[in-house]
């Protein structure tokens, strides 16, 4: 598992250790320092990791026991430890277990549990937590409207969820149409991506979104100033 977003990168080795490199001004490399690294350093105090996710200045890790840990920038509560204090070593996300997938936006975080429910925390300026508010949260909150979810993805300031029936839902920042609901209005609750079914995979860039359908076709929507939608 590897992940990169802002100015740092994360890699999980086969032995469950995490290595990180790049910018470290907020402790997002998790090595106990705030020193930038041009070569990989091991993240301290965590083993048995199965997945990682890199936000703009924070990092997340999923351990094989279903627990989630975070480190780095925490101004918006994106580490999920109940505080807004930055950390240069991993801290456990509070009140969260049985997690099967994680995702990190610029300053918000998501987790998918084995029962198909989605929990979110951190920056909520544009409603990217999907809880119907624009209030930040330093602890995980459940998105009540979402059930039977099998995949999650985080853009810069928006979020996506894939349901078991092949439909996709999105919420948060929508200035470029990245929610796919036919509007450019932000939404603090999940809205269904229009005209999209039979989806088996999702991904999100800073301001755009993608979906892979079961027939092997790819759909994209949102920001396209650099041709990132691939429609010519």
pLDDT of res. 136: 98
pLDDT digits (tens, 9 = 90+) for 185-204: 999 999 999 999 999 999 99
pLDDT band at 6 (very low <50, low <70, confident <90, very high): confident
Query: 156, 157, 50, 126: which is closest to 60 by C-alpha?
Result: 50
Using 50, 70 and 90 to split pLDDT, how confident is the model at 206? very high
> What is the reported pLDDT for 190?
98
Mean pLDDT of 224-230: 98
Average pLDDT over the chain, rounded to an integer: 98
- 210 CB-contact burial (10 Å; exposed 0-12 / middle 13-18 / buried 19+): buried
pLDDT for position 197 = 98
Give the pLDDT confidence score for residue 4 in this predicted structure: 87
Provide the pLDDT for residue 48.
98
| 16 φ/ψ sector (left φ>0, alpha ψ -120 to 50, else beta) | left
Write out pLDDT tens, residues 54-63. Answer: 999 999 999 9
d(CA 23, CA 144): 36
Local confidence band at 51 (pLDDT 50, 70, 90 cut-offs) = very high
What is the pLDDT at residue 5? 84
> 3-state class of 70 per DSSP?
strand
Can you tell me the mean pLDDT for 99-127? Answer: 98
pLDDT at 205: 97
């Amino acid at each position: 598992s590897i992940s990169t977003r802002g100015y740092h990168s994360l890699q999980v080795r086969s032995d469950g250790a995490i290595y990180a490199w790049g910018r470290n001004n907020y402790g997002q490399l998790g090595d106990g320092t705030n020193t930038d690294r041009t070569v990989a350093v091991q993240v301290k105090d965590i083993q048995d990791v199965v997945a990682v996710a890199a936000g703009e200045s924070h990092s997340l890790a999923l351990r094989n026991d279903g627990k989630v840990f975070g480190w780095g920038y925490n101004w918006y509560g994106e580490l999920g430890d109940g505080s807004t204090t930055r950390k240069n070593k991993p801290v456990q996300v509070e009140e969260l277990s049985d997690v099967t997938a994680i995702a990190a936006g610029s300053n918000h975080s998501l987790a998918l549990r084995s029962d198909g429910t989605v929990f979110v925390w951190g920056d909520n300026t544009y409603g990217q937590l999907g809880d119907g508010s624009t209030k930040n949260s330093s602890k995980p909150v459940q998105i009540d409207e979402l059930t039977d979810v099998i995949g999650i993805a985080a853009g810069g300031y928006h979020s996506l969820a894939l349901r078991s029936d092949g439909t996709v839902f999105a919420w948060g920042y929508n200035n470029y149409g990245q929610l796919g609901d036919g509007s450019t209005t932000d939404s603090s609750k999940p809205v269904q991506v229009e005209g999209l079914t039979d989806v088996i995979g999702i991904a999100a860039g800073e301001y755009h979104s993608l979906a892979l359908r079961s027939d092997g076709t790819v759909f994209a929507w949102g920001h396209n100033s650099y041709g990132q939608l691939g429609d010519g």
